[in-house]
Amino acid sequence: MSESPTQPTLDFNTPKLVRHRKNRKLKDKLASVSIGAGGISVIVAITLIFFYLLYEVAPLFTSAEAERVATYDVPEQAAGSTIFSGTEEQGEKAFRVTDQGEVVFFNTIDGSIDNLVSLPIPEGVEVSSVANADPASRKFVLGLSDGSALVLQHSYKITYPNDQRKIEPFIEYPFGEEAMQLAENGEPLKEISIALSDGALMVVAVTESNALVAKQFEQEEDFLSGEIRLVPEEVDLPQLDVAPKFIIAEPAMRFVFVGTNDGHIQVLDLNAKRENIVNGTIKVGDENTLIDDMTLLLGGASILVSDSQGSTSQWFMVRDENNKYRLENIRTFEAVGGKIAAADIEQRRKGFLIANTEGTIKFYNSTAHSTALTISADAAVKNLAIAPRANKLLVETTDGKMQWWLVDNEHPEISFSALWGKVWYEGYEEPDYIWQSSAANNDFEPKYSLSPLAFGTLKAAFYAMLVATPLAICGALYTAYFMSPGLRRKVKPSIELMEALPTVILGFLAGLFFAPFMEENLPGVFAVLIITPIFILLFGFIWSNLPSNIRRLVPDGWDPVLLIPVIIFGGWLAMALSPTLEVAFFNGDMRLWLTNEAGIDFDQRNALVVGAAMGFAVIPTIFSITEDAVFSVPKHLTQGSLALGATQWQTMTRVILPTASPGIFSAVMIGMGRAVGETMIVLMATGNTPIMDINIFEGMRTLSANIAVEMPESEVGSTHYRILFLAAFVLFLFTFVVNTFAEFVRQRLRNKYSVI
């Protein structure tokens, strides 16, 4: 009997195998650490982005603060009682105008006198009234007790001796030192107002006998001497039945607003030939409410009316449906309480201050309709003057003291209603959602509503997904399940290659080629949606009824290739029929027909263009993920379904779709995130009009496009700058919420269908 051969034994502890196991273990460990570190890095990066955006946005919502840094006696009290005061740009020098015709310039920190100017007022004549012009011009007008008016300008010469800033204040007389006579009978002007434009000047006043007087002057410059000469023109104002208490001339020199002693406002239209009262008498508040103060807000479009109840309201002229003007009470602000003692407006924003006789001072903003800050002067307030940069405040109290305050109120125009609600802006007929961050003049009222931008973002994403989702999902289902492997290996990489196309190229083509092409062939574009499906169905019917020996000429799974010429021919036919359809149904011009007959506005760069261009960019993302999800469905599920007698279509709808639904849902959500965050396509193909209109033929402006357009020109740290970061923060939160919701739904679907 022969012995069986001995089986060789394997030694797993040889040095070579030990080294191999150690190397493999080390590589596994390194791979695990690297993948973990990469995942953690992504989370850390996203968290840092979140906190950086929050860091930039947080100052918008911080509370305003003020600190009193100096208190001293009113400078040069012997010069008379203060009737008007102000400060220069830096807040280092201030001035006060007295009723005796003196201007006292002093340092704001200690009250030391810099300059004392005696105005060219005749002896025995006193200052009876005062009014500020456009704050940026630094001009103001004095009404005198002899019925004349004098226009002044406080100016400052800045030098730098020994590298130290030196400010020398002085008074200028832009229209000459000679006062202009308003009241021919020499009555004192108890109230006065001035309106300035590039070439004209108008002064209106109320005399001691309650008469309204006015003069308008055209400015002419002597081309030799450069001196400005005023050419007077009489202005006829009606005499009112009720004694006027306040008077204001708006900068456009058309309307004059008169507040009466019984709490009414009269609007005088200087353009009217006969009827000078626009809409009769308007009552402020209830029957017992009287007017305590009236002033123009920055820009001269609105008047601020403070009443005897301690409330302040904003009014401006609004056109009605008949194109007639009416004075409208736009908003009423939180009452300061008590009797109004003084008021002042900010010189670069739509903000203002109101003080009462108890020493309470409130800072308001008209656009935000909010109270930004409340401080107490600890004494009855006599006069207020906010610095041009709104960062310093000069307060004079009735006990003969001056208070100098530092104010930190950087972003008063921001509130929830200003960002997301309808706001009634100056010059608009009704409240609306408006984004308009800049204009050509400094009197502009910024409009920072994010609603039209958020709406535009969702609108662009909606139409893009409307185009991309059915095409991408249906294409992925057919490619993964019905298409032959050979054709799939060519189609899938080709579609995924579309994602490599730069979106700036897609936006360029959409804006400069596709938008004009679509406008010229609008009936053909819609005809494609009808003709192409009909051709596909017709070809499918014909193909299925052809003899089998002909159909066998095409390999199994390659049938879709035959549809390419069919689709091309259908598209060509639709475009060829476009002129005929336009003449037959739309009077030769579908765009004009939409505008005139259907009442639908049409913009060349519209949501239809964006939907097609951005849908084309989103298709590869949704297709690739959906195709992978469908292709990854276990084969035993589909084979078992077919073995039990189900058709391929039943297997697709009853087995594959439920099993792949988590992946398909993820594909749609990722595609939507791509559409929401897209910048270049919507930047170049939408027209960038921030409007809220669901109309597919209108454009839009998205949050991302708005950031790309306006961030380079925004001032760092400004309200505009931080609101753009707020827009980015909103985008971040939107994508975070959508992705979180998508993951939640995906897990639910995965748990529900994992048993299949």
What is the spatial distance between Cα 544 and Cα 393, in angstroms, rounded to a whole number? 86
Q: What is the pLDDT of residue 756?
A: 45
Q: What is the pLDDT of residue 451?
A: 94
CB of 304 closer than 8 Å to CB of 259? no
Q: What is the pLDDT of residue 638?
A: 86
Q: What is the pLDDT of residue 484?
A: 84
Of the candidates 596, 660, 582, the one whose C-alpha atom is nearest the C-alpha of residue 628 is 660
Q: What is the pLDDT of residue 274?
A: 46
Q: Which residue do the tokens 């194109």 mark?
A: 323
Question: Any idea what DSSP says for residue 61?
Answer: G
CB of 175 closer than 8 Å to CB of 230? yes
Q: What is the pLDDT of residue 236?
A: 80
* Sign of torsion over alpha carbons 282, 285, 286, 292: negative
CB of 346 closer than 8 Å to CB of 368? no
Alpha-carbon Rg for the chain in angstroms:
38
Query: What are the structural domains of the chain?
Result: 458-695 (1.10.3720)
Q: What is the pLDDT of residue 322?
A: 81
* Amino acid identity, position 709: V
The ranges of the chain with pLDDT < 70 are: 1-12, 222-226, 228, 273-280, 440, 442, 753-756
Q: What is the pLDDT of residue 572?
A: 93
CB of 398 closer than 8 Å to CB of 408? no
Q: Which residues pair with 376 in a beta bridge?
A: 360
Q: What is the pLDDT of residue 302?
A: 92
Identify the burial level of 573 via C-beta atoms within 10 angstroms of its C-beta, where 0-12 means exposed, 13-18 middle and 19 or more buried: middle
Q: What is the pLDDT of residue 1?
A: 47
Q: What is the pLDDT of residue 554?
A: 83
List, for residues 265-290, the tens digit of each pLDDT value. Answer: 999 888 775 454 555 678 888 888 89
CB of 330 closer than 8 Å to CB of 378? no
Instruction: Give me the helices (H) in 545-588, please.
Output: 548-551, 563-585
